[in-house]
Amino acid sequence: MAIIAPSILAADFANLKHQLSLIEQAGAKWVHIDVMDGHFVPNITFGPAIIAAVRKMTKLFLDVHLMVHEPDFIIPKYREAGADLITVHVEAIAHLYRTLQLIKHVGARVGVSLNPATSAHCLEPIISEVDLILAMTVNPGFGGQEFIPAIVPKLAQIDNMIRAQDRAIYLEVDGGIDSQTAPVVIRSGANVLVAGTAIFKQDDIVAAFEQLNNCCQSDSENRI
């Protein structure tokens, strides 16, 4: 069963509480929050105060994606603000193993993310420490970009690495996910799909979520 994680990066921030209620109404269980520092990626988004505000607005699982250079100093603040899962980028951290231990220490679930050009082999030393692997399917920093098909073989490679572990690890994809690309990534092992534009930029958010969710459920049943 694939999980859809709507990304609030694409939401109408003037109506965020209402739009979160719409995805809840549509059946969402997760919400994806893209944190950008203007250093690791050429954009700036949400500090811990916004996560704390979102925490008060919704009961959804807060899937917080830190596109932040050397984030150790701020990870406790995102956890205090209400992050349920914190994902960091392998490319942004000199001492990644220590950062993953810090996320676990503060009580959040642990995620690690690979940019499009980063090899899945980077995961080998740390796969035992994570609850989720996020394979970027666009260059991080902005919503509304084109899906990068070249990532699909990497998804299958990561899926094989996960299957070799003796416990469940989520395989999340992020960027350019819609009803066309969703079946492709699910067939390669993705089971958490981040979608911003395909949901929050549509006229009918509830219908958009339901349509993407339906197309994901039918395809995840096709996986062996």
In 49-85, which positions are buried (b, 16+ CB within 10 angstroms) versus exposed (e)?
ebbeebbeebebbbbbbbbbeebeebbbbbbebbbbb
Question: Per rule CB under 5 A, is residue 34 in the interface with Zn ion?
Answer: yes
Contacts of 134 (CB under 8 A, 6+ apart): 65, 87, 111, 112, 113, 114, 172, 173, 174, 194
Nearer to ligand DX5 among residue 40 and residue 224 (C-beta): 40
Interacting partner of 144 out of Zn ion, ligand DX5, none (Cβ under 5 to 8 A depending on kind): ligand DX5
Stretch that binds Zn ion, among 26-34, 40-48, 90-98, 195-203 (CB under 5 A): 26-34
Is 12 a catalytic site residue? Answer: no
Q: Which is nearer to ligand DX5, 99 or 113 (CB)?
A: 113
192 part of the interface to ligand DX5, by CB under 6 A: no
* Partners of 13 in the β-ladder: none
The residue from 37, 63, 159, 174 that is catalytic is: 174
The residues pairing with 132 across neighbouring beta strands, listed in sequence order, are 111, 170
- Which window, 33-41, 118-126, 178-186, 202-210, contacts Zn ion (CB under 5 A)? 33-41
Q: Which of 2, 3, 4, 9 binds ligand DX5 (CB under 6 A)?
A: 9
